[in-house]
Chain A
Amino acid sequence: DAGITQSPRHKVTETGTPVTLRCHQTENHRYMYWYRQDPGHGLRLIHYSYGVKDTDKGEVSDGYSVSRSKTEDFLLTLESATSSQTSVYFCASHPPGASGYGYTFGSGTRLTVV
């Protein structure tokens, strides 16, 4: 019973096409995040959400948008995919005041843009 499910797990897409990655959590967590992991960069924050319809940008938000219409779902859209967006994408969540207890992460989506 995974707390966070990401779909798809793998995707190959062509440059210039829009892509949507899905994150579904069953923890009823208020806060949700999208990170990307790249060699030499660790995990970098793309966008985050602090409630339904409440979202904000992270450090690498250019070329990405997000939406959160329900507590459990957080979508990441690449508006027009580029090769630089080839990466592994992780979704994460936590309840309020979880300092020190960390996030719950999904298993990731490996995206390849050709």
Chain B
Amino acid sequence: DQQVKQNSPSLSVQEGRISILNCDYTNSMFDYFLWYKKYPAEGPTFLISISSIKDKNEDGRFTVFLNKSAKHLSLHIVPSQPGDSAVYFCAASVTNFGNEKLTFGTGTRLTIIP
């Protein structure tokens, strides 16, 4: 039972355009949502997060949107750059006395075309 789903295994975007990565979840108890970026042969690195009490969080070129009624979140990257080519994982957690077990999606491979 996949509680966090990324239905697009891959996405190609022209450099300078907007990249939109999508994620759906089923567990209404999730209260934090995060995006991680992963390059080959490296561990995932934290990119941006959003609390369930918000609907938008922005950090430079990266914005995450949360639609709780649809159980959907998206990551927007504007403008897209070649260094953004990586695998992006959506993750979610339920706050539990400081323990933040993350449930990950299957990932979307983003390729930025120069």
**Pair B95/A99 contact, Cβ less than 8 Å:** yes
- Number of residue pairs A-B, CB distance < 8 angstroms: 70
Q: A97-B98, A99-B93, A99-B95 are known contacts. Are A42 and B104 too (CB-CB below 8 A)?
A: yes
Q: Is A75 close to B, CB under 8 A?
A: no
Q: Is B74 close to A, CB under 8 A?
A: no
**Pair A99/B44 contact, Cβ less than 8 Å:** no
Q: A48-B101, A96-B98 are known contacts. Are A102 and B43 too (CB-CB below 8 A)?
A: no
Nearest to B32 among chain A residues (CB) is: A99
Docked pose: A97 CA to B103 CA in angstroms: 17
Contacts of A107 in B (CB 8 A): 41-43
**Pair B89/A42 contact, Cβ less than 8 Å:** yes
Interface centre among B44, B51, B93, B105 (most CB of A within 10 A): B44
**Pair B49/A101 contact, Cβ less than 8 Å:** yes
Contacts of A30 in B (CB 8 A): 98
User: How many of chain A's residues touch chain B, expressed as a range?
Assistant: 20 to 34
Docked pose: A105 CA to B46 CA in angstroms: 9
Quick one: which of A35, A42, A90, A99 contacts B100, CB cutoff 8 A? A99
Docked pose: A97 CA to B42 CA in angstroms: 25
Docked pose: A98 CA to B50 CA in angstroms: 12
19 pairs from A and B in contact (CB 8 Å cutoff) = A31-B100, A33-B102, A42-B6, A42-B89, A42-B107, A44-B104, A90-B43, A94-B100, A96-B99, A99-B31, A99-B32, A99-B49, A99-B93, A102-B46, A103-B46, A105-B44, A107-B41, A108-B41, A108-B42
Chain A residues in contact with chain B, CB under 8 A?
Answer: 4, 30-31, 33, 35, 40-45, 48, 50, 58, 90, 92, 94, 96-103, 105-108
